[in-house]
Every structure is written in structure tokens, then in C-alpha cells.
Amino acid sequence: MINLTQTTGVHCFVTGAAGFIGSNLVDRLLTLGHRVTGYDNFSTGNEAFLENALQHPCFRLVRGDLLEPDALSAAMAGCDVVLHLAANADVRFGTGHPRRDLEQNTIATWNVLDAMRQRGIGKIAFSSTGSVYGEAQVIPTPEDCPFPVQTSLYGASKVAAEGLIAAYCEGFGFEGFIFRFVSILGERYTHGHVFDFYRQLLQHPDHLSVLGNGSQRKSYLYVQDCVDAVLTAMAAGDGKLTIVNLGTPEYCQVNDSIGWICERLGVAPELRYSGGDRGWVGDNPFIFLDCARMRSMGWAPRRTIRESILRTVDYLAANRWLLDSRR
């Protein structure tokens, strides 16, 4: 058993290390006294997010693609545990490039698992998504909710990846942790509704285009609370497969989020809705996960949704260079 919160010197392999969640996780692992090999192809990751890590003697960055199995296996040599966060997270435009989710989410995950098998690494944490529940009929949605018909290629690719992890746990004795996240907010956030709204309001503070009717109900989680949960669950593992939802015990309407953002920025734009109860194909109009299983491990989020949104706005205001880097 590897407890990353109580031991030190564990060699962690983090995919998507230069991404939003990945880079925050890298920093935390280094702070806890672990060695980290970060793996990223920089298709969406940002080297600036690793500024502190790159100065740390226990961090190594490998520029590589998860679709290159030999390079991936070589980079994993000597590691003890894998934290697999790399993925294509473009849910909204998934139908415009349908192979991308298959390759970057499903095939990439199989490559990670088989490289682990080759290297004798038996522990993996995986960033899945609440989107696997599609338009759930049970709200709040527990981990054992019957899976519906999938409504997004992103969600479908993550379900497939979860299945591969479960099969490797059964077939090769891996210990697996599958985390079904709601949307994550906070420092180094680079895509999603807060980013889109903030950029719009800088360009034209008098009006804001909103997908759907603004009544969509969503849940969000602060990135440091997310990292806390990942480490807490991994410390409580039983050597088999653990699946947990990660979210807050609340949700908000998109209109609530707009109000908080506009108040923070001191603007009162005209709201221009596209109409309907969702913004795009696969946009679940109500996401609210039951996180009792995660709370039973002693974890609880420290930030409310409102606090997480405001911290994200403040971060974007202090790092406007991100707006240009994501065009």
C-alpha cells in the first residue's frame, strides 16, 4: 500500500502534468516530499504552470505523447504509482473531431495501463467525469446509478477507459482509483464557462452571449479540494478498485454564476441567450453528484461554488496572458 499523505519519496508518474489539474497535483506531490515524473505532449498544457516544479530537484519533465507506447513505457521506468490526468476535455465540440476522444481518452488510457503492466507498476488514479452518467434519472447521482445511454463522445470515451482500468485491476491485480469529477475551478483554469464569460466581458462588457437559457443547474469543485480528495481516497484504498464521485453538496444555475462574475467585475451586461435547456449536444442540464462515499473517507470541500468561481475570476484577472494562449 502507498499512502502519499503519510510517506515520502514515492516516485509518482503524472500524465497531463502541465495541465490545469495535473500541475496543481504535481506541486502538491512535491510539497509532500515525493519524486515526480511529469509527462505531457503540451497540446493543451502550459509550461508556465510548471514554473515552480521545474526548479525542484525531485521533478523531471518528459515531453511525450501517450499515443507513443515505447516512449511512454521508457518514461515510466522506476515509478511506483501513476496518476493519469491527461485527456481531451473538449466536450462541446467533440462531434467535430470524433476520433480525438477515442485516441486521447480511451486508447491513451490503454497505453498507460499496458506500460504499467510492463513496468510492474500496480497502482493508478484516473480522472474520469460526471459526464459518464449522461442525463441521470437519479439526482443527486450516486456511483452505483444505472448508466444511461451516453450523450457525449467524451463521456463515452471515459466510460470505456473506466472499463479498461477495471479489467486491468481484475486481470493483473492493479489497485485502481476512478474519480468522477464535476467541473473543476480555480488557479490555472483554462477552459469552461468562467473562462468564456470572462473573456467575453473583457471584449464587450455591455453584453454577454449565453448558451441555453441560463437555468442549467451545475456543480463545480475547487481544484485544491479536488487534489485533497484524490490523495484522501488513495490513502484509504483497499488494494482493489475504488470509484468515487467528487463534487460539492450544492449546485447553482448558470445565471447564478453569471451574477457572481458580473458583480466581481462591476459590469451589468445585457444577457443574450441562445435558448433551450442546454448549450450543446451532450450538455447535461442538471449535474449534481452524490458524494457520500467520498465524504465517508473524511473528506469535505472547503470552498463553496461561489467562492470557487470568484477565485477563478480573480486568477484570470491576474493572468490575462492565458486569454491569448487559449485562442
DSSP 8-state class, residue 103: I
- pLDDT at position 95 is 74
- Is 219:305 a contact under the CB 8 Å cutoff? yes
Residue closest to 125 by CA, chosen among 160, 90, 174, 74 = 174
Answer yes or no: is pLDDT of 93 > 70: no
Whether residue 34 is found in the same domain as residue 147:
yes
Average pLDDT, integer, range 211-218: 96
pLDDT tens digit sequence for 2-35 = 789 989 999 999 999 999 999 999 999 999 999 9
Q: Are residues 169 and 176 in contact, defined by beta-carbon separation less than 8 angstroms?
A: yes
The C-alpha atoms of residue 173 and residue 224 are separated, in whole angstroms, by 30
Contact 273, 212 (CB under 8 A): yes
Residue 130 confidence (pLDDT): 94
Place of cell 488514479: 125
Here the cell at position 48 is 508556465
Average pLDDT over residues 152-157: 91
In CATH, what number is assigned to the domain containing residue 193?
3.90.25.10
Question: Do residues 133 and 203 both lie within one domain?
Answer: no
Q: Measuring CA to CA, how many Å separate 2 from each of 23, 84, 113, 258, 271?
A: 21, 16, 18, 42, 50
Say what the pLDDT of residue 88 is.
Answer: 86
84 in the same domain as 180: yes
CATH number of the domain bearing residue 48 = 3.40.50.720
Q: Does residue 68 form part of some domain?
A: yes
- 142, 256: one domain: no
Q: Average the pLDDT over 123-149 and give the result.
A: 93
Q: Does any domain span residue 2?
A: no
In the structure, what pLDDT confidence band is assigned to residue 69 with cuts at 50, 70 and 90?
Answer: very high
What are 171's three cell numbers?
486481470
Residue 266: its pLDDT value, please?
A: 98
Coil, strand or helix at 205: coil
Residues 237 and 284 placed together within one structural domain of the fold: no
What mean pLDDT is predicted for residues 53-64?
A: 98
Residue in 136, 176, 170 with CA at minimum distance from that of residue 290: 136
Regarding whether 290 and 141 lie in a shared domain, the answer is no
4 within a domain of the structure (yes/no):
no
**Residue 3 belongs to a domain:** no
Letter for the amino acid at 89?
A
The number of residues in the chain equals 327
pLDDT for res 20: 97
- Say if residue 168 is in the same domain as residue 133: yes
Q: Is residue 111 part of a domain?
A: yes
Q: What is the pLDDT of residue 327?
A: 54
Q: What is the pLDDT of residues 161-182, one digit of tens each?
A: 999 999 999 999 999 999 999 9
pTM as predicted: 0.96
Look at residue 83 and tell me if it is in a domain.
yes
Q: Do 118 and 257 fall into the same domain?
A: no
Pairing of strands 59-63, 241-246: unpaired
Across 59-73, 92-106, 293-307, least confident range:
92-106
Q: Which residues contact 101 (CB under 8 A, 6 or more apart)?
A: 88, 94, 153, 154, 156, 157
Reply yes or no on whether the pLDDT at 201 is more than 60.
Answer: yes
Residues 139 and 159 grouped into a single domain: yes
The pLDDT tens digits of the residues spanning 223-278 come to: 999 999 999 999 999 999 999 999 999 999 999 999 999 999 999 999 999 999 98
Q: Are residues 309 and 166 in the same domain?
A: no
What residues make up the domain containing 206? 187-218+250-325
Assess whether 209 and 95 both reside in one domain. no
* 6, part of any domain: no
Question: Structurally, how many domains does the chain consist of?
Answer: 2
- pLDDT, mean over the chain: 95
pLDDT of residue 55: 98
> Do 177 and 135 sit in the same domain of this protein?
yes
How many CB atoms within 10 Å of residue 250?
12
Residue 5 lies in a domain: no
134-138 mean pLDDT: 90
